[in-house]
Structure 1
Amino acid sequence: MVVAISERASLKQRSSYLKYLPAIYADSDFMGRFLMIFESVLGPIQNVVDNIPYYLDPKLAPQEAL
């Protein structure tokens, strides 16, 4: 099976959520990959929540939100 370079690079990525766990999990490749699932799902949601004040201002809100 041939794996593309971008796929191999994504396999080596580690979740930034590891910094919130005890140090024993920091060396676990599985845990880093496992948390990437949640980070990829929750990241866009967190971005929207962080920018709620901009959605409430009609001058700054994205056109699709109006």
Structure 2
Amino acid sequence: MEIGVHWDQCEANGICVGIAPDIFDLDDNDDLIVAEGPVPAQLEGDVRDAIAQCPKAALFAKD
């Protein structure tokens, strides 16, 4: 699984960071950072939760 972002929809509110901090982060300018490459299998559940809880539906799985 890889993660896609609709950057024009992302508000970088950090909900995803709270759910999956090993995959998502905010930089010093509060812009979203997403870990590169495939999501480790043990973190896929957290990432799917983060995708589902994104208030702007800016995140999606690229399976």
> Taking structure 2 as the reference length, what is the TM-score of the superposition?
0.31
Looking at CA atoms only, which structure, 1 or 2, has the larger radius of gyration?
A: 1
Looking at both structures, which has the greater relative contact order when contacts are Cα pairs under 8 Å and sequence separation is at least 6?
2
Return the structure number with greater helix share.
Answer: 1
